[in-house]
Structure formats: structure tokens, C-alpha cells
Amino acid sequence: MEKWSRFNYQPCLPLGKEGARVTGCREHIELSRKAAGEGMVLLKNEGSLLPFCKGQKLAVFGKAAVDYVKGGGGSGDVTVAYTRNLMEGLRIKEQEGKVEVFWPAAGYYEKEIQAQYAKGYCPGMTLEPEVPEELLGQARAFTDTAVVTICRYSGEGWDRKSIADKAFAGGDQSLARLSASIFENGDFCLTEAEKQMVEKVKKTFPYVAVVLNVGGMIDTSWFKEDKSLSAVLMAWQGGIEGGLAAADILCGDVNPSGKLTDTFAQTLEDYPSSEGFHESLDYVNYEEDVYVGYRYFESFSQAKAKVIYPFGYGLSYTEFEICTKNISVENDQVRVKAEVTNLGLRPGKEVVQVYYSAPQGKLGKPALELGAFQKTRLLAAGETQTMILTFSVSDMASFDDLGKVSKSAYVLEGGSYSFYVGNSAENLEKWREDWVLNGDRIVSQLTSKSAPYKLPKRLTGDGSYEMLPEREQIQEPLGLPKQDMDRLEGMEPADRGYGQMLREEIEKSGKHMLSEVAEGKITLDTFMEQLSDEDLAHLLGGQPNTGVANTYGMGNLREYGIPNVMTADGPAGLRIRPQCRVYTTAWPCATMLACTWNTELVEQVGAAGASEVKENNIGIWLTPAMNIHRSPLCGRNFEYYSEDPLVAGKMGAAMVRGIQSQHVAASVKHFACNNKESNRKDSDSRVSERALREIYLKGFEIVVKESDPWTIMSSYNLVNGHRASESWDLLTGILREEWGFKGIVTTDWWTRGEHYKEAKAGNDIKMGCGYPDRLLMAMERELITREEIAICARRILEMILKLAH
């Protein structure tokens, strides 16, 4: 087969066995359901209400019983052949003789929700219907056990809120108005209609379980201490068959083993990021610094008292014992040996979590930081598994951005380092011996990069705030006439219109083909010598769609045999527009995948998803999304993994390994500090160098060093006064020079950055289209050189060569 035949000819050759298609295949759907079952988190189970006993009669209430949300909106949406809601899952269980369901309630909600769909409401954005008293009475006569369901929807381009009458800062205003009309009390909290539904069910039924079909953190205070709500399952957004996966857990066919990757506090105001989240459309001050998530709540006693469900928490239908056998520190490695025993009667899985506590020293440290984690295999009743977990001593270093020990260095401060082993941030056993470091140790001496200009203060280890120096920002000359970037957004890339040229004719003209480089006949340098300035500038921009793609491609110099390699959205599955009638597999949302704490499973999901990408003649999958859950209000948290950079990094690295095992390029995004959707194209994320490196870049660093992603996507926003897509410090200084990244950097689609500034910074390609004329104009004015443009073009060609399979 000719190199890049999938890109050149769009043959849509099936990749399955015996000519079968893998896209949306049964094997992938089963894997999606398995991953959903392993990522669901059992938050509460008083009196062992769950799993339901065989033959248990159930009445299910709440629109979410049928109004199923498989995932979030925007680029994270997926076109599927069908979805399975909770009632469909329970119907299957009833057919298997495991439960009996009061179907008139389901019929009522089905009728109500379908009527709202007909009016234009989308899943998760519907109104909660009032429960008829007659229906409640009939259901109570049928059973004493009820299930309450709640669902939520959020999407790209707009943020969540707690109270609808608060000013909505930016984002998609039409969605904001629709959301405000639906969520009377906000989507973080229950709506008034949901409160009334829950109260009615509680008063009617002595036994009530709750199922939450949500993509991000929500208020959990309403059920934590409520004795009339005995069980709560965080079912997240489980992809194509998430409703069936929830039924699997409710009926005991799957033992829940998911653990939270975020801290759930009593109120939204308890999160330090909440106060300034919507303070301005123009900027966000990251004043909590490195004290994000459990690092904040576990460090300050007043904050710790407000935790409802800690980081790493999750129940099981069995009981486990974690016994730490030994912890040693040798050769820059912390080595933990632990035994996990299933003490209960059901097979199950447990997650071993290792935390460390560094000395406060001059820099101040969070009380706890996750050092390593590992999930057991499925352990039978009474079975024991020995686990070995390791991490580097240097991982415990802190970045000194002000020079208290050594400026711009990662430092291990002298003192005692403690280790803890358990299954959540609040269920830990301290190891009997500390590791003592005599004197400070410089782990890595770097230089200052991407320092803040206007971050007034930051939180410190004693709970006070440290004032930070303000620097004068040097304004760069524009160099070129300012363009109206808003007018250009959504513009289709220009097709050079070369037509299909025969290879023989091209070779007769003396031109070299890229396939000659792939075959080892010539070097890439030799190939690039023949490219004109116009050719190089053309390569630095997105290209027209082909086939089923809708997010454009790259390459497309057909007279040189350079294919037009398509991209596709993610991360919850291959995203193809509905009109193409290609139905793919919707995977569980990223937060749910992270809650599996199972990197091997996530790698399998990455490989399966990438095979669908490849089968549909697409070469680059725009996933995984790596941004930190800084605030529960970020509308795109469902696409991101965790509040913790180690969890995010390990999950992202697993996903990249899986994707690129199929010779499909992963695109790790959004680099960096895209932790808010409101005015995301112009908002300035103001963050200290320490928090930037230890929290917001750390996950990306782990992915780069552990899985070698072929592409990284820069973010829309500014970071400390500079557009991320134009930041040399981020894209070259840190990403390439410090971490050794070898792939390409692509902009997010239609950034408002100047193309030549992006290229000079190391942002190789501007998507969805570039502006070659402006690049050439900048070159004429000596604002950028051919050599600088060629560096970017070379990296793009190197990436395309990796896809020649």
C-alpha cells in the first residue's frame, strides 16, 4: 500500500477482523461500559442498601432516569448510534430476574422528557417535571425502595455557576440564558424543582438511593448527612452505555472501585478559587498558588473541616486491608511495598495511594502530596496482592521562584520527609520512619520563565498571604498592521488547488517526494531544500477538510507528495458531525476515566479510540485534555482528569501511549492554564512560577517525558500577560529545552495571536487555518526568518513521517 494512502485517497478500509469495521463496534462499546463501571464512585452506602438484593422492587424518580447525559458538549461531544439510559439498564436487569421496576414512573418521565426534546431542549438541560402525588402513591404501594436520579450538562465555551441570578461572565450567552432559565439555583446546587422531587421521594419511601449522572463536581451536602438517603452512586457521564454500567453496579454485577480525583467540600465558597473566578473577564488571579484541591484542604485545619468527600475516596461492596510492609529510600527512589487483602465476600479492586509530606522550610509546602498510586487486580474474597510503588526523591522538590533558597531551582529542603499509605487523602497510615535530608539539595537549576507581572499576592503554608513583586511588562512592537481576528474565526483554509498530479510526472520534473524520505532514499534536509518560502509558509497553517473530517488538516503540498493529514476532536471519542452518518464509540468522560485510577484500562481506551480515528482516515486525535480542575465552576472540567497533576499526568500518558500505538498522533491540550471558559481567548491567567510548574504544567511534563506525544496544543488564553500561543518561555524554553519535547505544537483553533509571533515562539502550525501572506510579509520586514519558519515546517514534516504506516 502506498504511503499515507488513507490520507491521499480516503479509501475507508475497515480495520477489523474479516473486513469488519471497528468504528462503533461491539468490542469497543463493551470496553466503554467496562471503563464506566470501573470509574463510578460509590459515595455512600449506609445499611448496605446497595447492591440491591435479587428480586428487589424499585421505583425510579427524576428526569435523569431517561434524560441521559453521555458526556459534555462542544469538542467533547460524540455522534453515536444510540445511548443507553438508567431505565434501559434496569430493564435488562429485570429481564435477568435481578430487580422488578415500577414502570409507570418511567413512562411518565419518558413522556415528559420527549415533549421537552421536541421543544428543542437537549439532554441534561431539560426541566425537572413535578412528581404527581398519585404516581407516588402507586409506587409506594409497589415497593418501599426508590432511586432518585439527577443529571447535569456543561460544555465548551461557557462556565458553570452556583446561582443563576449572579452575573454570568462571558462564554456562550445563549447557553447562559438557557441555563439560567433551567437551573433556578444553579447547576452546582440542586434546582428548586429537584429539591421538591427529592423531598417528596424521601417522605414517601423508607429506603432511597441516589444516582448522579454528572460531568463535574456538584453540591454533595444535601445527601451526606441525610439519613433518609441511604446510598449515593456518582455515575458521572459514562459514554454510550453508561446507563447500563450504572445498573451493573446497582445490582451488584460490578463491584464499584472508582475513587474521586477531586475534593468535594461543603459549599462552592469553600474552594479558594471561587472568590475571584468571575471577578473579571480580563484576568484570573491564581492567589491560592500551589494549594489547589486536597493540597489546600489537607493543609489548613479550618479548610479540612469543610471536606465532605476527600480526594481519593470511594467505597466498595467488600472490605480491604492495606498493610504497608516497608518503605525505603535508595538511589533517588522511594520504594513502597504494601499488601492488599480482600477481607470481604465479594471480588473487588482497591487503589493504593502513597502520599508524602515535605518539611515546611523556607518555601512552605502542602501538608500532603500524592507521590504514587496503583490499582490492584480483581481480588477474590480472602486474596492478597503484594504491590510495589515507586517514585523519585526529586519528585518531592519544590520550585523556588523568589530565591529563598536558590532562585529558579527545584529544591529539596533539609528536614524530615514523612510517608503515608492508604486509600484516600484522609484514610492514611503514617509510616513509622521519616526520611531525613541533612541540608538543602538543589535538584535542578533552571532560569526564570513565564513569571507573573500583576499577581498581587499568594497563599503560603501558614495560611497567610505573601505579597508578590509587580514587574513592568515590556510591550512588543506590533510589526504588522493589526488585524481583526474575530472576523477571521471560522474561516475555511484556502485550498491551493493543485489537483491530483501523477507521481511519475512529478519525478520527471526533478522534484523529490516526501515518500523518498520515508523510504530512506534521501534526507529530510535534502527534501526541504527544494521548498520555496511560499511552500514553507503554507505548511505552517491548517488545510481544508477531506472525507468526514471537520477540524481541518495539515500538510497538503501535493506536488511534493505531502499528504493532507486530517485532525479530529476528542477526548470522549472520535467526533464526526451527524450529517456524515458515521457513528462512533462514546467513551466515559475524562474525569470518569481518571476515577478508575487504572492506567492500563485508560491505555486500552486510547488504543481503541485511536483505531476508530485511523479507520476514518484521520491522523491526529485532539486528545487528551490535561488542564487542572482548579475550580468546580470550569465548564469544561468533564474533559479534564483531576485537581491533581500526578493523576492527570499518569492518565494522560496512558492515553497517549494507547493512541500512538495505533500510529495516530495524540494532541495533548490545552497548554496551559486553560482553567476557565469565560472569555477564554483573551483572559489572562496570572499565576506564580512555582504554581505554574508544580501544578499547571506538571501533568504535561509527565506526559512528555513518559509517552512522547507527537503533538501538543497551546491554549487560547494568556499566561502572565503573554498569549500562550506566542509564549517562547512556555513553548520553547520549558517544553522543548527543559523537557526535551520533540513533536509539533499546534494552536487551538483560530487563536487571536499573530501568526509570525506564534511561529517564532515555537508554535509550529496555526489552526484551523494559517496566514501565509502575513508570514511572508513579516519575513520581508525581517520580523521572522526563513530559518525560523523552516524549523516549524520541519517538525510538521517529521510528525507526518511518523504517520507513514
What DSSP line would sit under 67-109, residue for residue? S---S-BGGG----S----HHHHHHHHHHTTSEEE-HHHHHHH
3-state SS, residue 405:
coil
Beta strands in 260-397 (DSSP E): 264-265, 283-285, 307-309, 320-330, 333-342, 351-357, 369-375, 384-392
Residue with cell 501558614: 462
Find out whether 411 and 363 touch, Cβ atoms under 8 Å. yes
3-state SS, residue 685:
strand
Amino acid type, 425: A
Contacts of 192 (CB under 8 A, 6+ apart): 184, 185
Task: Report the number of secondary-structure helices (H) and strands (E) in the chain.
Answer: 25, 31
Contacts of 665 (CB under 8 A, 6+ apart): 619, 620, 621, 659, 709, 710, 711, 743, 799, 802, 803
Contacts of 135 (CB under 8 A, 6+ apart): 104, 105, 108
Alpha helices for 494-617 (secondary structure H)? 503-508, 514-518, 524-529, 533-539, 590-594, 599-615
Amino acid type, 446: L
262 half-sphere exposure, CB direction, 13 A CA radius: 26
The Cα–Cα gap between 594 and 605 comes to 12
Give which of 659, 751, 671, 680 is closest to 713, Cα–Cα: 671
Is position 332 annotated as part of the catalytic site? Answer: no
Active-site option among 165, 748, 764, 773: 748
Beta-sheet strand order (sheet of 684-686) = 283-285, 684-686, 718-719, 722-723
Return the CA Rg of the chain: 27
Give exposure, 223-234, as e/b (b: 16+ Cβ within 10 Å).
Answer: beebeebbbbbb
Give exposure, 399-433, as e/b (b: 16+ Cβ within 10 Å).
Answer: bbbbeebeebbbbbbebebbbbbbbbbbebeebee
Residue with cell 534521501: 522
Find out whether 660 and 668 touch, Cβ atoms under 8 Å. no
Find out whether 362 and 413 touch, Cβ atoms under 8 Å. yes
Give which of 756, 754, 755 is closest to 785, Cα–Cα: 756
Give CA angle at 795 (766, 626), nearest 5°.
65
Find out whether 398 and 360 touch, Cβ atoms under 8 Å. no
How many residues comprise the chain?
805
Find out whether 80 and 71 touch, Cβ atoms under 8 Å. no
| Residue 127 vs residues 62, 74, 118, 182: alpha-carbon distances, Å | 10, 21, 13, 6
How does strand 562-569 pair with strand 553-557? antiparallel
Give which of 15, 24, 197, 55 is closest to 575, Cα–Cα: 24
The whole-angstrom distance between residue 663's C-alpha and the CA centroid of its chain comes to 22
3-state SS, residue 430:
strand
Find out whether 607 and 60 touch, Cβ atoms under 8 Å. no
Residue 710 C-alpha cell reads as 507527537
Secondary structure letter of residue 475 according to DSSP: P
Q: Which residues are catalytic?
A: 748
